Amino acid sequence: MNTGLIAIAAAIAVALTGAVTALGQSRSSAKAFESMARQPEITGKLQTAMIIALAMMEALTIYGLLIAFMLVAKI
């Protein structure tokens, strides 16, 4: 196997999952804060849902890192 291509694939896996997750987290946080500003009485429920959603997004980033580690292990 070509080790250079595997290294590039690992770098792309980490970069892509990190970038997309960061965009998703920032967008969902912005919308949640906007909702909290409009209706302060839902802050508690919305914070709980937002934290769970952010944790799920972060898990996807960790999966991307795991895939990168698995690719690098093939080198």
Which of 25, 23, 45, 21 is closest to 35 using CA atoms? Answer: 45
Q: What is the pLDDT at residue 74?
A: 82
Asked if 68 and 12 touch (Cβ cutoff 8 Å), the reply is no
Which CATH number is 45's domain given? 1.20.20.10
Which domain range does residue 34 map to?
3-73
Q: What is the pLDDT at residue 75?
A: 78
Q: What is the pLDDT at residue 1?
A: 64
Q: How far is CA 64 from the centre of its chain?
A: 9
Per-residue pLDDT of the chain (75 residues; tens, 9 = 90+): 688 899 999 999 999 999 999 999 999 999 999 999 999 999 999 999 999 999 999 999 999 999 999 989 987
Asked if 71 and 6 touch (Cβ cutoff 8 Å), the reply is yes
Total domains in the fold of the chain: 1
Beta-carbon contacts of 12 under 8 Å, excluding residues fewer than 6 positions away, are: none
Q: How far is CA 70 from the centre of its chain?
A: 19
